[in-house]
Amino acid sequence: MKSKILLFVFLLSCHFSFSAEYYVAPNGNDSNNGTIKNPVATINKAQQLASSGDTVYIRGGVYKLKEEQIAQYHRIWAYVTKLDKDGISYLAYKNETPVFNFEKIKPENLRVIAFFISGNNITVKGIEVTGVQVTIKDHTQSECFEIQGSNNTLEQLKMHDGMAIGVYITKGSNNLILNCDAYRNWDSVSENGKGGNTDGFGCHAPAGNKNNIFRGCRAWFNSDDGFDLINSAEPVLIDHCWAFYNGYTVDFKKRADGNGFKCGGYAGTPLEHLPNPIPRNTIQFCLAVGNKQAGFYSNHHLNGSNWYNNTAYHNRINYDMLNRKAVKPVEYLEDTQGWSHVLANNLGYGATGAELNNINKSACTLKNNYFDLSLTITATDFLSLDETFLTASRQADGSLPETSFLRLNPSSNLIDAGIDIGFPFKGKSPDLGCFESEK
């Protein structure tokens, strides 16, 4: 027995002895060996040095990317940083903030992908991406992060003040986008500057690419939508995320669609190319505020989705459940009132146009939503309606800020007005909306 234990300890120590650390720094040089004293200059070079199980630490400061640093040109894309080696973690060095500035990367007539992740089991944490450009004047898009691998985690990233989508999943399973922010992104170049493809976050994966999750993320002042699931062939989970002021520039000039959570739809995809079955997406404990169009939007989807404990405030339409009729000839392109949705414990207040739109209530499952109950909702139901709290600093672990905004006043009859649907709660019953009150 003792010999077996010694053998196990030896094998375990051998395993960890092969894990290495490499360092990237703004003052690094790609001819260096990547130690903390001799860091390299680019993540591309660090990946060449590293192996699965290794960690690349990225020192703080500004990295001003240049076109000669583009890792690969492929058809219509320019992949600036290409992460295609499995099992490597890329982490901001402790208490430091690396900022990658892409404003000088403008390859003519190419889509810029700042970070292209085609590998698996990769973690990227704690960096900022800014200034990603668009150079094409007709229909196009650029991306801060595009994922085509599986089991990857993007955590505590900030993607801002550029022209690109924040995170764009087009392939892969079990990807987690955790506690990330995408904000102030507007494509002012293509299609007369409308900004119609600049979402905060999107998942558009094909059949078989399952279990992709957005959790604890915020999207604001993106010129198109906050979160977009159009053309996804598998269910996506959006959990505890916030979307606000999308569809506007920072001075509230109107731009493109402007939905907080656009959760489905296939546009003009031919009938024979539609996924079978059509997925049901799940949006839970999310917050939508002040978006140009809808807070929560089904987007002509060909199935219902699950909407649990969400809060919508001051959107043009707080909840818009618009569907299409059926996966049948002709009907797959015909809009109809929403059907097969499951809505439970949702809360809305102060829509500038309509609280609830495009829903066939008799064809949906509705449980204890604010529009089902005989409740009068006023500003006094909330501790605060101060929207400046939306951009408050995150907590030390990267989770969303704890503020009083849209949290329920202890005297509100919205407390305990929900129904138990399997999530933890305090008191006799769940509260309505995305914030459970202390009781």
Sheet with 212-215: list strands edge to edge. 21-24, 55-58, 89-92, 123-125, 153-155, 176-178, 212-215, 236-239, 282-284, 306-308, 342-344, 365-367
Q: Which residues have CB under 8 Å from 37's CB, separation 6+?
A: none
Which secondary-structure segment (H or E) carries 11? helix 2-17
Say if strands 143-147 and 176-178 run parallel, antiparallel, or are unpaired. unpaired
Cis preceding-peptide flag for 277 (omega within 30 of 0): yes
Which secondary-structure segment (H or E) carries 45? helix 43-49
Using the CB atoms, write b or e for 218-230: b if 16+ within 10 Å.
bbbbbbbbbbbbb
Which residue shows structure tokens 């809060």?
311
Task: Give just the sign of the alpha carbon dihedral 40, 45, 48, 51.
Answer: positive
425, 435 contact by CB (below 8 A): no
229 φ, ψ (degrees, to nearest 5) = -115, 20
Mapping DSSP to helix (H, G, I), strand (E, B) and coil, where does residue 218 land? strand
Residues annotated catalytic, as ranges: 262
Which secondary-structure segment (H or E) carries 392? none
Q: Where does 339-403 show beta strands of DSSP type E?
A: 342-344, 347-349, 354-357, 365-367
